[in-house]
Structure 1
Amino acid sequence: MDPASPRVVRALLEQHQFRIKKKFGQNFLVDGNIINKILNAAELSNMDVVVEIGPGVGALTYRLAQKARRVVAVEIDRTVFPLLAETLDGLDNITLVEADALKTDFDRLVRERAGAPANGYKVVANLPYYITTPLIMHLLEGHLGARKIIVMVQEEVARRLIASPGAKDYGALTVAANYYAVVELAFKVPRTVFLPRPEVDSAVISMTVRKSPAVCVKNEQVYFALVRAAFQQRRKTLLNALGNLNKEFSRDKWLNILRQAEIDPVRRGETLNLREFARLADVYDQCR
């Protein structure tokens, strides 16, 4: 049985009378060439522990298990487990876990199900579109055991993750992801390799988690609050956009903060790089 074959997957779904659930963003990957490219991007060895989110019918899971020491697959939909029992039959290095990925402590999960790998673990996932952004941030924030994250996302989200300052796709997600990881586009994926076919194309993003953040800031909470404020009204100048961050600060005080940070007050937030946001956040934090 080849779980990457469209014919096999259709027969499996019919056999189990399985109904695709849009609420879980179920678009099953059915292309062996794309799976090979994902495996190459993940750079797996037989010493690796891999966390897969949303195994679906197991096409990627099957190949991950052939490459890695152990695969821990997290699936929210219990009804796919009988299908996975068939497609993954004979593989003893896979642990299936029924859980909501957004509520899962992946560091703890890996410790409990695979021991504590000395070199950390890798995350590989075909992310459901409806939770892509929150799940990426959940993976990056506080889960220091993950050293590499390979995710399939909507092409639109991929553009946002790799955008440069000043680009129309550059935003708070760009800043946050690149703060925690080195983010690269691995390759694009056409919508035709999924069953059922989604309405948009996808892309695979490679994120190598940094040992320390890209920039040093005195207060991360302040840093990200300032970033969000700068992009909430992205067409406004920083002087006007940041007023909502602290209503007690006068326009003149914000003007002084921007000047201390050596940032032109008429610039827009979408033009600042991570280092400039860090500089501005530290000055603002001192003046609070």
Structure 2
Amino acid sequence: MTPKTQNELPSLRESLEQHGLMAKKSFGQHFLLDLNITRKIVRLGGPFDGDVVIEVGPGPGGLTRALLESEARSVLAIEKDARFIELLSELNDAYGARFDVIEADAVKADERALLAERDLGEAAHLVSNLPYNVGTPLLIKWLTGPWQPLSMTLMFQLEVALRVVAPVDDNDYGRLSVIAQVLCDCEKLMDLPARAFTPPPKVDSAVVKLTPKADRPDAQLIKNLEKVTAAAFGQRRKMLRASLKPLGGEALLEKAGIDPTARAETISPDQFIQLSRVHLQTLQSTSNHYFRE
């Protein structure tokens, strides 16, 4: 096949037809083929001037094309579905060294290593129309893992997006809200109806931007936060003195300055990180006492 220039690229629908491709239900794929929408997502998620962007699950490349039209220095796409590699290589022909596509599972991918292998440094933004079936696991990986992106502009099914940005005491407020908001400033950028996708999913979607906070807790405290929130929201209708009983219950809550009769959905992210800090200090104190004995 003759390499194509940027002006010669076929439309996204034409590309899919030429390669005989359809969305794969088992991969949770729903394609966004309207370049006006993908350009808006990139505009709201940016600026990416001079920076590297990693895209997960590019599929036919609608969001990829918008990213390559931006001022991003390089765009690195991670695609699990081997069927799309040849189609995406047409973008490689058109945009040269600015674009690279990797066939890999993003859940298992080491972003830091992928960047280093290409001499792109360590810093990169994440932009993705996330496959529905792995959206939350990928977000938790990027929030709590060893590699920290410069920003994340991510599309989720609407119910997940609402959980990410939900304020305390909201019906959607939960464990994901706390972890995301402790670590990032979170903002819902735009809603997308199901009809915007091919094929249309059964639910609407939304784009969320997460910008990591400068005062990030250390890895040990983040891990403990995951433990505390899992216990608190695992029995969210119970008072915290009951749901957190295995972790110290009423005594722990009083040390953290939190009402033991409160329920998880009424506790702010700042209070949860304080609770996690006190719990960790209690564990460390108990451990030190044990060794002194």
Deviations 1:9-52 (A, max 9, x none): 44433332224211111111111221121111222344111101
Deviations 1:125-165 (A, max 9, x none): 00001011110111122344411110011111111001111
Aligned pairs for 1:141-160 within 5 A? 141-160=144-163
**What SS does the aligned partner of 1:73 have?**
strand
Work out which of the residue numbers 108, 113, 117 in structure 1 matches 2:118: 113
Q: Which residue of 1 aligns with 2:178?
A: 175
Mapped partners of 1:218, 1:80: distance in 2: 39
**What SS does the aligned partner of 2:244 have?**
helix
Q: Which residue of 1 aligns with 2:79?
A: 75
In structure 2, the CA distance between the partners of 1:91 and 1:26, relative to structure 1 (3 Å rule), is: same
Work out which of the residue numbers 126, 135, 139 in structure 2 matches 1:132: 135
In structure 2, the CA distance between the partners of 1:114 and 1:51, relative to structure 1 (3 Å rule), is: farther
Mapped partners of 1:135, 1:287: distance in 2: 31
Mapped partners of 2:219, 2:130: distance in 1: 30
- The 8 Å contact of residues 216 and 278 in structure 1, kept in 2 or not, is answered as no
- The 8 Å contact of residues 57 and 84 in structure 1, kept in 2 or not, is answered as yes
**What SS does the aligned partner of 1:147 have?**
coil
Work out which of the residue numbers 204, 223, 247 in structure 1 matches 2:225: 223
Gaps of 5+ in 2: 284-293
**What SS does the aligned partner of 1:276 have?**
helix
Shift of residue 185, structure 1, vs aligned partner:
0.7
Q: 4+ residue runs of structure 1 moved beyond 4 angstroms?
A: 215-218
- The 8 Å contact of residues 32 and 198 in structure 2, kept in 1 or not, is answered as yes
**What SS does the aligned partner of 1:203 have?**
strand
Deviations 1:69-105 (A, max 9, x none): 1100000011111222345541111101011000011
Mapped partners of 1:236, 1:183: distance in 2: 28
Deviations 1:226-266 (A, max 9, x none): 111000010000011112x34xx5xxxx2222222221111
Mapped partners of 2:281, 2:12: distance in 1: 58
Q: Which residue of 2 aligns with 1:232?
A: 234
Work out which of the residue numbers 190, 193, 206 in structure 2 matches 1:190: 193
**What SS does the aligned partner of 1:184 have?**
strand
TM-score normalised by length of structure 1: 0.87
**What SS does the aligned partner of 1:115 have?**
coil
Identity %: 37
Gaps of 5+ in 1: none
In structure 2, the CA distance between the partners of 1:109 and 1:88, relative to structure 1 (3 Å rule), is: closer
Mapped partners of 2:14, 2:131: distance in 1: 23
Mapped partners of 2:207, 2:235: distance in 1: 29
- The 8 Å contact of residues 182 and 273 in structure 2, kept in 1 or not, is answered as no
Q: Which residue of 2 aligns with 1:265?
A: 260
Mapped partners of 1:217, 1:134: distance in 2: 18
In structure 2, the CA distance between the partners of 1:260 and 1:109, relative to structure 1 (3 Å rule), is: same
Q: Which residue of 2 aligns with 1:102?
A: 107
Q: Which residue of 1 aligns with 2:64?
A: 61
In structure 2, the CA distance between the partners of 1:200 and 1:222, relative to structure 1 (3 Å rule), is: same
In structure 2, the CA distance between the partners of 1:57 and 1:218, relative to structure 1 (3 Å rule), is: closer
Shift of residue 281, structure 1, vs aligned partner:
2.4
Which amino acid in the other structure matches residue 227 of structure 2?
A: A
TM-score normalised by length of structure 2: 0.86
Mapped partners of 1:19, 1:218: distance in 2: 43
Work out which of the residue numbers 45, 49, 52 in structure 2 matches 1:49: 52
Work out which of the residue numbers 89, 92, 97 in structure 2 matches 1:85: 89
Which amino acid in the other structure matches residue 196 of structure 2?
A: V
In structure 2, the CA distance between the partners of 1:114 and 1:63, relative to structure 1 (3 Å rule), is: farther
Shift of residue 283, structure 1, vs aligned partner:
2.9
**What SS does the aligned partner of 1:170 have?**
coil
